[in-house]
Structure 1
Amino acid sequence: MSVFAAIAVIALLVAVHEAGHFLAARLQGIHVNRFAIGFGPILWKYQGAQTEYSLRAIPLGGFVGFPDDDPDSEIPPNDPDLLRNRPILDRAIVISAGVIANLVFAYLVFVAQFTTVGIPETFDPQPGIVIPQVVSDSSPAAQAGIRPGDIVIAANGEPLDGSESTIPTFIQLIKDSPNLPVDLTVQRGSRELEVTVIPTPGPDGNAVIGVQLQPNGDFGYRRPTGPIEVFTLAAKQFQEMLVRTVNGFVMLVTNFGEMANQVAGPVKIVEQGAGLAESSLAMLFPFTAIISINLAIINILPLPALDGGQLAFLLVEALRGKPLPDRLQENVMQTGLVLLLGLGVFLIVRDTTQLEIFQNLRQ
C-alpha cells in the first residue's frame, strides 16, 4: 500500500501541473482539446464539450493537448483562440502555469500538514543531534561511515547538548570547515563510534556533509495556535525547501561529476516515498511538497521538451519579432524529447537494479 501511496502522490502532482496549463488556457478562452493524466493506453476517457479527458496506464506523466497540433481539428488555422495565434504574453502564461501550480501546491501542502497533522515539535530534548537521512552514498557523511539513525553526540571533542542552539552551532561548524577534517563522536545503538568527516564546499561557498539534522528527543506534533501561525510556518518551510532544492540543482550543474549519481528517477522516488509512507503517513506531506518543488524547477529549466524550453523559444520570438521556423522548433523539441526519454530509461534501469530485492540476489 505504501508503494501505491507514493505513486498516487506523483500522479497527483502531475495532475496539478497539467491542470495549471489547462486552467491558464481555458480562463483565457484558448482552445484545449485534450487533458490526460499518464501516458500510454487509455484506461478511461470522457469527451466534454470541447476537451477529451483521459486517464492512461502509466501515471508518471501527463499532457494538455491543443488543436494547433491536431491535423484532424475542424478549427480554422486563423482562429484567434488557437494557442499559436495568441500574443506572446498569453502563451507565456499558459506555458509557465504548470510550474506556478506546482509551487503554489507545495505551499498548500505545508498548510494542510500543519492544519491536520499539527506542527512538529521535539519533547524531552536529549543531548546530541539525530541524523534521519544521509543524502547519498557519495556524500562526505556516507564516506565517513555515518548512517541514518546515528546520533552525533560530540564534534571536535565538544559535547553537543539538547538546547535549541545545538543544530545551528553544528551547522556553522560544518560551514566553517570546507575540506577540513571534523572529528565526530557518533552513538549507534549502544555503541559509540569515532568518525572523521571532511565537508565539501557547496555552490554558495558554505561547506556541507550531505545529511539531514533533527533534534534528539521524543518527536511529536502540537496543535497550531491559529491560522496566522499555520500560514507563517508554511511559508517559512516552503521557502527553506525551495532554497535547498535550487541550491541542489546549482550544485548538480556546477559539480556534475560528483553529483550525477544523486539524480533520482521515478523508481527511486517511489521507493523513497514508499519508505516514508510505511514509517508514517504524515511524512507524505513533506515528500509531496519537495517532489512538487522539484517538478516545478525541472520544468522551468531551458531544455527542449520542457516548459522552460518553450519559454526560451518565446523569448527568441520576442527578440526577433517573429518565431523561429516551425521545422527548427520541431527538430529541437524532438531531439530533446528523445534525450529526456533516454535519460528516463537509464534512471529507471539504474534505480531498479539498486532496489534491495536485486541487491539481495547479488549476495
Structure 2
Amino acid sequence: MSVLAAIGVLALLIVVHELGHFLAARLQGIHVNRFSLGFGPILWKYQGRRTEYAVRAIPLGGFVGFPDDDPDSDIPPNDPDLLRNRPILDRAIVISAGVIANLIFAYFVFATQFVAVGIPQFSDQSGVLVADVISVEAPAAQAGLRAEDVILAVNDQSLGDGNEARILLMQQIQEHADQPIDLTVQRGEQQLDLTVTPRSEEDGIARIGVQLLPNRRVTGYRPPSGVVEVLSEAARVFQNAFLAVAQGFISLVTNFSSVASQVGGPVKIVEQGASFAASDATRLFDFAALISINLAIINILPLPALDGGQLAFLLIEALRGKPLPNRIQENVMQTGLMLLLGLGIFLIVRDTTQLEVFQNLFQ
C-alpha cells in the first residue's frame, strides 16, 4: 500500500504540472488537442470535444499537445488561437504555468498538512543531525559519516543541543581546515568514534561535505490558531524547502562528478516515498511537497525538452525579433527528449537493480 501511495503522489504531481499548462492555454483561448500522462504507446485514452486525454506506457512525465504542427488538424495555420501565433508573453505564460502550478501546489500541501494534522511541535535533542552527505568523495563520506547520523561531540567537547550545537560544530570544522578532528557519532543504538579532515575549498572556507540540521524530534501536533498562522507557517516551511532543494541542484551543477551518483529516477523516488508512508503516513505531505518543488526546479532548467528550454527559445526569439527556424528547434527538442528518455530509462534500470528485493533474488 505504501508503494501505491507513493506512485499515486507522483502521478498526481505530474497531472498538476500538465494541468498548469493546460489551464493557462485554455483560459487564454489557445487550442489544446492532447493531455497525456506518460510518453510512448497509449494504454488508455478518452476523446473529448476538443482534447484527447491519455495514459501512456512510459511513466517519465507527461505532456500537453497543441495542434500547431499536427498534420491531421483541421485548424487553419493562420488561426490566431494557435499557440505559435500568439504573442511571446502569452506563450511564456503557457510554458511556465506548469512550474508555477507545482510551486503553488507544494505551498498548499504544507498548508493542508497543518490544517489536517496540526502544527508540529519539536523538542531539541543532543547533538547535530547529518541530514545528507553530499558526495561520496567528500571528507565526511571518506570518514564514514552517513545521513541520519547524529554528531554528539567534537574532540571530546560536547556540542549540546539546538541550533547552537550546529553553529558550534560548523565553527570547529572551519577552524580546523586540513586538520583531523575527532567526532563522537550516534548511529541508531551504536556510538562511534570517527575522524574527519575538513577540506579547505576555493572560497577559503573549510567543509566536510554534509548538510547539518539541529537534532530535533517531533513530539506532537497542535491545532493552528487560525488561517493566518496556517498560511504564514506554510510560507515559512515552503521557503526553507525551496531553498534546500535549490541548493541541492546548485551542488549538482557545480560538483556534478561527485554528486551524480545521488541522482535518482522514478523508482528511487517511489522507494523513498514508500518508506515515508510506511514509517508515518503523514510524511506523504512532506514527500509530495518536496517532489513538487523538485519537479518545478527541474523543469525550469534551460535544457532541451524541458519548459526552461522552450523559454530559452522564446528569449532568443525576443532578442532576434523572429523565432529560430522550425527545423533547428525541432532537432534540438527531439534530441533533448531522446536524451531525457534515455536518462530516465537508465535511472529506472539502475535504481531497480539496487532495490533490496531485487538484490535478494541473487543471494
Normalised by the size of structure 2, how large is the TM-score?
Answer: 0.90
CA RMSD of aligned residues (A): 2.6
Q: In 1, distance between residues paired with 2:206 and 2:227?
A: 35
- State the Cα distance separating 1:194 from its structure 2 match: 0.8
Q: In 2, distance between residues paired with 1:267 and 1:136?
A: 21
Q: In 2, distance between residues paired with 1:217 and 1:89?
A: 47
Moved more, 177-186 or 335-344: 177-186
Task: Look up the equivalent residue of 2:272 and give its one-letter code.
Answer: Q
User: Do the aligned partners of residues 206 and 334 (structure 1) sit closer, same or farther apart at CA in structure 2, a change above 3 Å counting?
Assistant: farther
Report matched runs for 1:167-178 at 5 Å. Answer: 167-174=166-173
After superposition, give the CA deviation of every residue in 1:73-94 in whole Å (9 maximum; x if it has no partner). Answer: 1111100000000011110110
Q: In 1, distance between residues paired with 2:175 and 2:249?
A: 22
Q: Match of 2:193?
A: 194
Structure 1 residue matching 2:126: 3-state secondary structure: coil
Q: In 2, distance between residues paired with 1:26 and 1:203?
A: 49
User: Do the aligned partners of residues 312 and 131 (structure 1) sit closer, same or farther apart at CA in structure 2, a change above 3 Å counting?
Assistant: closer
User: Do the aligned partners of residues 177 and 235 (structure 1) sit closer, same or farther apart at CA in structure 2, a change above 3 Å counting?
Assistant: farther
After superposition, give the CA deviation of every residue in 1:174-231 in whole Å (9 maximum; x if it has no partner). Answer: 4666655442111335542111234567898673533463525563322222222222
Q: Is the 8 A contact 1:174 1:209 kept in 2?
A: no
Task: Look up the equivalent residue of 2:356 and give its one-letter code.
Answer: E
Q: Does 1:296 align with 2:257?
A: no
User: Do the aligned partners of residues 220 and 13 (structure 1) sit closer, same or farther apart at CA in structure 2, a change above 3 Å counting?
Assistant: same
Q: Match of 1:152?
A: 151
Q: In 2, distance between residues paired with 1:90 and 1:217?
A: 47
After superposition, give the CA deviation of every residue in 1:148-199 in whole Å (9 maximum; x if it has no partner). Answer: 5543221232213234533344355446666554421113355421112345
Q: In 1, distance between residues paired with 2:91 and 2:199?
A: 42
Q: Is the 8 A contact 2:156 2:183 kept in 1?
A: yes
Number of positions where the alignment pairs a residue of Structure 1 with one of Structure 2: 362
- State the Cα distance separating 1:277 from its structure 2 match: 1.1
Report matched runs for 1:53-92 at 5 Å. Answer: 53-92=53-92
User: Do the aligned partners of residues 32 and 227 (structure 1) sit closer, same or farther apart at CA in structure 2, a change above 3 Å counting?
Assistant: same
Q: In 2, distance between residues paired with 1:274 and 1:140?
A: 30
Q: Does 1:317 align with 2:317?
A: yes
Q: Match of 2:222?
A: 222
Q: In 2, distance between residues paired with 1:154 and 1:207?
A: 17
Q: Is the 8 A contact 1:197 1:209 kept in 2?
A: no
Task: Look up the equivalent residue of 2:55 and give its one-letter code.
Answer: L
User: Do the aligned partners of residues 361 and 81 (structure 1) sit closer, same or farther apart at CA in structure 2, a change above 3 Å counting?
Assistant: same
Structure 1 residue matching 2:80: 3-state secondary structure: coil
User: Do the aligned partners of residues 117 and 142 (structure 1) sit closer, same or farther apart at CA in structure 2, a change above 3 Å counting?
Assistant: farther
Q: In 2, distance between residues paired with 1:83 and 1:203?
A: 47
- State the Cα distance separating 1:250 from its structure 2 match: 1.5
Q: In 1, distance between residues paired with 2:44 and 2:338?
A: 27
Structure 2 residue matching 1:9: 3-state secondary structure: helix
Q: Match of 1:10?
A: 10
Report matched runs for 1:192-271 at 5 Å. Answer: 192-199=191-198, 207=207, 209-211=209-211, 213-216=213-216, 219-271=219-271
User: Do the aligned partners of residues 174 and 71 (structure 1) sit closer, same or farther apart at CA in structure 2, a change above 3 Å counting?
Assistant: farther
Q: In 1, distance between residues paired with 2:201 and 2:248?
A: 9
Task: Look up the equivalent residue of 2:255 and give its one-letter code.
Answer: N
After superposition, give the CA deviation of every residue in 1:63-82 in whole Å (9 maximum; x if it has no partner). Answer: 11111121111111100000
User: Do the aligned partners of residues 190 and 262 (structure 1) sit closer, same or farther apart at CA in structure 2, a change above 3 Å counting?
Assistant: closer
Moved more, 36-45 or 266-275: 36-45
Runs of 5+ consecutive residues of structure 2 not aligned to the other structure: none
Moved more, 140-149 or 337-346: 140-149
Normalised by the size of structure 1, how large is the TM-score?
Answer: 0.90
Task: Look up the equivalent residue of 1:144 and give its one-letter code.
Answer: A
Q: Is the 8 A contact 1:132 1:214 kept in 2?
A: no
Structure 2 residue matching 1:39: 3-state secondary structure: strand
Structure 1 residue matching 2:185: 3-state secondary structure: strand
**Percent identity among equivalent residues?**
65
- State the Cα distance separating 1:248 from its structure 2 match: 1.5
Task: Look up the equivalent residue of 1:32 and give its one-letter code.
Answer: V
Q: Does 1:34 align with 2:40?
A: no
- State the Cα distance separating 1:293 from its structure 2 match: 1.1
Structure 1 residue matching 2:186: 3-state secondary structure: strand
Runs of 5+ consecutive residues of structure 1 not aligned to the other structure: none
Task: Look up the equivalent residue of 2:185 and give its one-letter code.
Answer: V
After superposition, give the CA deviation of every residue in 1:274-329 in whole Å (9 maximum; x if it has no partner). Answer: 11111111111111111111111111111111111111111111111111111111
- State the Cα distance separating 1:96 from its structure 2 match: 0.7
After superposition, give the CA deviation of every residue in 1:224-252 in whole Å (9 maximum; x if it has no partner). Answer: 22222222221121112211222221211
Q: In 2, distance between residues paired with 1:155 and 1:85?
A: 64
Structure 2 residue matching 1:35: 3-state secondary structure: strand
Q: In 2, distance between residues paired with 1:136 and 1:220?
A: 33
User: Do the aligned partners of residues 191 and 319 (structure 1) sit closer, same or farther apart at CA in structure 2, a change above 3 Å counting?
Assistant: closer
Q: Is the 8 A contact 2:34 2:66 kept in 1?
A: yes
